[in-house]
C-alpha cells in the first residue's frame, strides 16, 4: 500500500488555482468546486477573481481570493500564508494556469526584446516554480497532493516567432517531471496538461479582429487557422476540453500517474 492509497476523492479537498480570473483557470476553479473542493483563486485582477468567487460560492463551496502577481516572490509568499491559514494548513490540488502568450507579432530571436522574454519566463515558468516551492512541502507532509501545470502544445515542438512562449512551456515540462521524481515517494503527483489553441475571450477577440480586418466571417478565420496547424479533429479547444484533463488528473484516475504530459490539442502533436 502506498502513501496515497488513503487519499480522499476530490471532495472535501483544498485546491489552489492560479490564473483563475479568466479562461481555463476560471473554468478549472469552478470545476474543482463542482467536484467538492474549496478553492483558493489567484490572479492579479481582483474584480475578475470576484466573478469566479461568485460562481464557486453559488456551488456551496468556500473560496479565498488571492490578488497576487505570480512573478513577485514576496507577494506569492504572503499569499501562500493567507491560503494555508484559510485551508487549515492543507493543500491538496495545485493548478498553475496563470500564463501569458508573450509577443504575438512573429518576433524572431534577434527581434524579440529581452524584457519580453524575461516577462514570459517569469510568469509561465518562475511563477509555477514559486507556487510549487511553497505547496509541495505541504503536500509531502500530508502524504498526498496533485500538481497540475498548464503548459501548451508549443512546448512540445518549436514554434517560429514564439520563442519565449515555447521556451517557457518546454521548461515547465522539465520542472514538472523533476518535481514528480522528487515528491513521488510522498504520494504526491505532478503532471502537465498541454493544450493547443483554446477559445477563451482573448483568443476569440483575436479571431474576431482578424475577421473584421479581412472582411470575412470568424468561421472562415477559424477554418483557415485549424487547417494551417493541421489539427486532426479540425477544431480548437473549449475550456471544457482542458477542464476534463485536469479533472482526470486531480481525481481518482490520476492516482498512479505522475511526470506525464497530456496534450489536448485536437491532434496537432501526433
Ligand X SMILES: NC(=O)c1ccc[n+]([C@@H]2O[C@H](COP(=O)([O-])OP(=O)(O)OC[C@H]3O[C@@H](n4cnc5c(N)ncnc54)[C@H](OP(=O)(O)O)[C@@H]3O)[C@@H](O)[C@H]2O)c1
Residues carrying an active site annotation: 165, 169
List Cα–Cα distances, 61 to 27, 73, 115, 154, 170, in angstroms: 15, 29, 40, 35, 34
Nearer to ligand X, 86 or 225 (CB): 225
Write the DSSP string, 26-89: HHHHHHHHHTT-EEEEEES-HHHHHHHHHHHHHTT--EEEEE--TT-HHHHHHHHHHHHHHHTT
Grid cell 470545476 is found at 31
Min dist. Cβ of residue 147 to ligand X (A): 14
Under DSSP, is residue 17 helix (H, G, I), strand (E, B) or coil?
strand
Contact letters (x/-) for ligand X, 103-142, by CB under 6 A?
--------------------x-------------------
Cell of 136: 509541495
Pick from 44, 173, 177, 255: which binds ligand X (CB under 6 A)? 44
- Determine if 206 is a binding residue for ligand X (CB under 6 A): no
Any residues with CB less than 8 A from the CB of 216 and at least 6 apart, and which?
A: none
Pick from 4, 10, 15, 24: which binds ligand X (CB under 6 A)? 24
Nearer to ligand X, 128 or 254 (CB): 128
Pick from 33, 39, 41, 48: which binds ligand X (CB under 6 A)? 48
Burial environment of residue 205 by CB neighbours within 10 A (0 to 12, 13 to 18, 19 or more): exposed
Residue 107 near residue 161 (C-beta atoms within 8 A): yes
Min dist. Cβ of residue 24 to ligand X (A): 3
Pick from 15, 19, 79, 207: which binds ligand X (CB under 6 A)? 19
Min dist. Cβ of residue 148 to ligand X (A): 11
Pick from 30, 70, 180, 188: which binds ligand X (CB under 6 A)? 70
- Determine if 16 is a binding residue for ligand X (CB under 6 A): no
Nearer to ligand X, 21 or 145 (CB): 21
Pick from 15, 31, 43, 263: which binds ligand X (CB under 6 A)? 43
Distance CA 83, CA 13 (A): 13
Site for ligand X in 145-204 (CB under 6 A): 150, 152, 195, 197-198, 200, 202-203
Pick from 15, 66, 84, 97: which binds ligand X (CB under 6 A)? 97
Q: Sheet with 63-67: list strands edge to edge.
A: 63-67, 38-43, 14-18, 93-96, 145-150, 188-195, 261-264
Nearer to ligand X, 19 or 145 (CB): 19
Residues at the interface with ligand X (CB under 6 A): 18-19, 21-25, 43-45, 48, 69-71, 97-100, 123, 150, 152, 195, 197-198, 200, 202-203
Amino acid at each position: 500500500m502506498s502513501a496515497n492509497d488513503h487519499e480522499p476523492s476530490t471532495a472535501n479537498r483544498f485546491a489552489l488555482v492560479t490564473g483563475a480570473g479568466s479562461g481555463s483557470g476560471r473554468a478549472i476553479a469552478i470545476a474543482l468546486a463542482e467536484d467538492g473542493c474549496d478553492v483558493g483563486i489567484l490572479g492579479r485582477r481582483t474584480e475578475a477573481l470576484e466573478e469566479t468567487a461568485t460562481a464557486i460560492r453559488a456551488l456551496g463551496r468556500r473560496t479565498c481570493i488571492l490578488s497576487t502577481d505570480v512573478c513577485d516572490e514576496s507577494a506569492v509568499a504572503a499569499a501562500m500564508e493567507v491560503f494555508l491559514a484559510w485551508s487549515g494548513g492543507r493543500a491538496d490540488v495545485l493548478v498553475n494556469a496563470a500564463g501569458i502568450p508573450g509577443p504575438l507579432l512573429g518576433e524572431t530571436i534577434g527581434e524579440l526584446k529581452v524584457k519580453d522574454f524575461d516577462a514570459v519566463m517569469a510568469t509561465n515558468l518562475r511563477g509555477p516554480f514559486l507556487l510549487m516551492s511553497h505547496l509541495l512541502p505541504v503536500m509531502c507532509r500530508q502524504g498526498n497532493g496533485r500538481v497540475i501545470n498548464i503548459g501548451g502544445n508549443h512546448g512540445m515542438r518549436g514554434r517560429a516567432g514564439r520563442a519565449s512562449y515555447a521556451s517557457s512551456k518546454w521548461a515547465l515540462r522539465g520542472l514538472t517531471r523533476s518535481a514528480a521524481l522528487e515528491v513521488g515517494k510522498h504520494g504526491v503527483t505532478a503532471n502537465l496538461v498541454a493544450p493547443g489553441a483554446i477559445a477563451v475571450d482573448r483568443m476569440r477577440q483575436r479571431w474576431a479582429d482578424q475577421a473584421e480586418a479581412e472582411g470575412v466571417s470568424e468561421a472562415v478565420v477559424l477554418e483557415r487557422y485549424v487547417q494551417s496547424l493541421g489539427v486532426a479533429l479540425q477544431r480548437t479547444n473549449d475550456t471544457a476540453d482542458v477542464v476534463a484533463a485536469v479533472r482526470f488528473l486531480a481525481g481518482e484516475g490520476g492516482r498512479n500517474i505522475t511526470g506525464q504530459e497530456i496534450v489536448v490539442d485536437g491532434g496537432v502533436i501526433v
